[in-house]
Amino acid sequence: MLLNKYKILAQNPASEARSLWRRWPVAVAALPFFGVVAAFGIAPDTVPEPVELQHIVENIELPVAPTAPSQETFWREERIQRGDTVASILSRLKVDDGEALNYLLQAKDVRSLYQLIPGRTVRAVTTEAGRLESLSYVNTDGRRLHVTRNEAGFSATEELPQTEQWIMQSSGEIETSLFAATDASGVPEAIALQLAEIFSSDIDFQRDLRRGDRFSVVYEALAADGEFSGFGRVLSAEFVNQGHAYRAVFFRDDKGRSGYYTPEGRNMRKTFLRSPIEFSRITSGFSLSRFHPILNAWRAHKGIDYGAPRGARVRVTADGVVSFMGRKGGYGNVVVVRHPNGYETLYAHLSAFGQGLRKGRRVAQGEVVGFVGSTGLATGPHLHYEFHVNGVHQNPMRLAMPAGPPITAQLRALFDQTAEPLLARLDMLRDTNLARLD
């Protein structure tokens, strides 16, 4: 956009250009401009051959207005490229100022400029003749270097960019898969994965999801100096699965420990995860499948089979110790983990084991113990998962033992205060969601 303005300057009488500079919206030339600008950028008073221009009116947003210009000043922004030097950047920024170049190459307090990380931007304000008025650059630790001209020459300051947190919210309904629904609602992938993680002790996103399930999510987006810099964390979420509503709120206590809690203050983290298959875009479309065992004897099937592509990550569902790891008959490559209180889980048909895994090693809930395969008696890649209580196979789906500590009585007031506005947003999202369905 700045280049557009420059072009106007080059192709119009100077007076007209000056009035355009101040007026928004402005007329800009709708022509390819990069090469043209490069051609007359350095000598703007060289008026080129008249070119037939098509003028369109556009709203243009200035990044920052030039600071109190004593004369006409120009804002330019350049993206750093591999191999750039301070001199080459200045040249592209149309800075034609030996004093400025000397200062930038010698002053100690502008050293961070030399990092010149490709992809970052440098912004400069210059006069029409290329005299540098100010320059800014965000260095690796996120601080903005700001160089300004003063009576004595130049001075440099470094400051942290103004960071902002934007609160985003979205809701949707499941038609086919969680990703299809989050994509349709414009929820970024990183947030969809967090959503699945937060409810991973309550909902198996591969097997439990039903058409008509609904979600609402409130999350952070971060910005530095007014520019979007990434998505943060989920602040609150609701998932209505098969008619049952689960709600979670993020809370950080006074000691910096953080986690997700129900509105009543119970910890969302349970002793066992609902699914040993890591939820991801590649596994989200798969569901419980019947892999017909090859042998009749194998039919006394004491486990749950998860259809998943070869190589999908298999994670241990609770903290424990590896009690077996290796090849074992029809199980193929198998990992058995012993947990406290007589629980044991088994992961079979693996194509490979988790990195560094061995018998006797402690594993933490969610740690990758292997990868989906079809070793042993398996007709196709899938995970065979068993859950034993005191040596007897049980259905893990009936267990929902809380693992993380709840909100303590002394933190209750602070928790309620934090949770209230986040839960109010979920109420609002639920209402709009339901209204849309009517």
Residue with tokens 């034993």: 388
Q: Closest approach of Cβ 381 to Zn ion, in Å? A: 12
Q: Closest approach of Cβ 385 to Zn ion, in Å? A: 8
Q: Closest approach of Cβ 384 to Zn ion, in Å? A: 3
Q: Which stretch binds Zn ion (CB under 5 A): 127-135, 182-190, 280-288, 383-391?
A: 383-391
Does residue 386 belong to the site contacting Zn ion (CB under 5 A)?
no
Q: CB-wise, 102 or 379, nearer to Zn ion?
A: 379
C-alpha distances in angstroms, 256 versus 243, 251, 259? 35, 9, 10
Helices (runs of H) and strands (runs of E) counted in the chain: 8, 22
The dihedrals phi and psi of 177, each to the nearest 5 degrees, come to -145, 170
Q: Which stretch binds Zn ion (CB under 5 A): 48-56, 120-128, 304-312, 322-330?
A: 304-312
Q: Closest approach of Cβ 300 to Zn ion, in Å? A: 11
DSSP letter assigned to residue 411: G
Q: CB-wise, 208 or 305, nearer to Zn ion?
A: 305
Q: CB-wise, 56 or 392, nearer to Zn ion?
A: 392
- Residues 289/221, Cβ–Cβ less than 8 Å: no
- Residues 259/198, Cβ–Cβ less than 8 Å: no
Q: CB-wise, 305 or 344, nearer to Zn ion?
A: 305
Q: CB-wise, 100 or 378, nearer to Zn ion?
A: 378
Q: Count interface residues toward Zn ion (CB under 5 A).
A: 3
Q: Closest approach of Cβ 205 to Zn ion, in Å? A: 20
Site string (325-364) toward Zn ion, x via CB under 5 A: ----------------------------------------
DSSP letter assigned to residue 277: B
Residue least distant from Zn ion (Cβ)? 384
Does residue 66 belong to the site contacting Zn ion (CB under 5 A)?
no
Does residue 303 belong to the site contacting Zn ion (CB under 5 A)?
yes
Does residue 208 belong to the site contacting Zn ion (CB under 5 A)?
no
Q: CB-wise, 11 or 275, nearer to Zn ion?
A: 275
Q: Which stretch binds Zn ion (CB under 5 A): 274-282, 336-344, 353-361, 376-384?
A: 376-384
CA 274 – CA 209 distance, rounded (Å):
12
Amino acid at 246: Y
Residue 414, both tokens: 């602070």
Q: CB-wise, 303 or 404, nearer to Zn ion?
A: 303
CA 268 – CA 402 distance, rounded (Å):
7
Give the Cβ contact number of residue 332 at 10 Å: 18
Residue 152, both tokens: 């004595």
Q: CB-wise, 103 or 291, nearer to Zn ion?
A: 291
Site string (139-158) toward Zn ion, x via CB under 5 A: --------------------
Q: Closest approach of Cβ 330 to Zn ion, in Å? A: 9
- Exposed/middle/buried for 320, CB within 10 Å: 0-12, 13-18, 19+? buried
- Residues 198/192, Cβ–Cβ less than 8 Å: no
User: What HEC string does 198-236 produce?
Assistant: HCCCCCCCCCCCCCCCEEEEEEEEEEECCEEEEEEEEEE
Binds Zn ion by CB under 5 A, chosen from 5, 92, 384, 388: 384
Q: CB-wise, 94 or 384, nearer to Zn ion?
A: 384
Query: Which among 412, 367, 110 has a CA at the least distance from the CA of 261?
Result: 412
C-alpha distances in angstroms, 299 versus 107, 307, 334? 77, 17, 18
Does residue 305 belong to the site contacting Zn ion (CB under 5 A)?
yes
- For Zn ion, the binding residues (CB under 5 A) are 303, 305, 384
